[in-house]
Structure 1
């Protein structure tokens, strides 16, 4: 399977949407320390396997997977009238279309275009909105409310979708 594109948003050092295109042969990622080289590899692994640090993320969702600045902005906003929604994490992998990958073709990607690939998200589950609102009213939230988050990991057909943490 040849990865042609990676899109990351809200994952570790990548606050904003980051896209990298890969060629079919050798790809070399070069950058300063703390530039995100390892995070790119972690994002690829996460999107392909659903594992982070060798463990299933669905059982180990952590605030530390999210971009620090996004989490800080979210937590700071909770004391204002302009509250931000809980941040999300997004990894999307696109693959070269071959007979072996054709079953993953669809338009469920961020560009809504026909492509072969997978999408991995950790995001707030709207089913918990009432409980979340009660938590906000109680105040004093100091960490990301990950107990209200779910994982969505989709290809065509879906790989995993749900919150059975």
Structure 2
């Protein structure tokens, strides 16, 4: 990694103008090296910063890849980040949040916002009948929400997954809408 080698030898550049010539990010580490003329060992800090940078880069690549796969699976760009949720009062203390089109990791925060706004002590029926894709991250989160909501005096179950086929045998595997066979 040439950047590690370059950062490891940054102590050669003691003046501000040299720091800026090397790069603006070096200005962040300048005060601790100027104070009392002390130069601290740079390798641990450099290694940590570079490692965090690569971890962040791989996380962003993973999110972008997952988003591209959802687009290929016919999730509209609008539904990648925005949840299509409506809440219907069924009476007798039962609420039915209905999620339409796609339930993915990227729009779960919008779904969670709707669920968190619901009053406690009710029974929730989360309806996924009108979704054509439910990814594994989304399947995991309502499982945890169910236990949190139960602690607050409510109950919950999910319906509408019967017509969707799981992509593996795991109970919380991603699910896709079953395609109807075309009659010839």
Q: Which TM-score band applies after superposition, normalised by the shorter structure?
A: under 0.3
Q: When the two structures are superposed, what TM-score results if normalisation uses the length of structure 2?
A: 0.23
Q: Which has the higher strand share?
A: 1
Q: Which has the higher helix share?
A: 2
Q: Which has the larger radius of gyration?
A: 2
Structure showing greater relative contact order (alpha-carbon pairs closer than 8 Å, 6 or more residues apart):
1
Q: When the two structures are superposed, what TM-score results if normalisation uses the length of structure 1?
A: 0.24
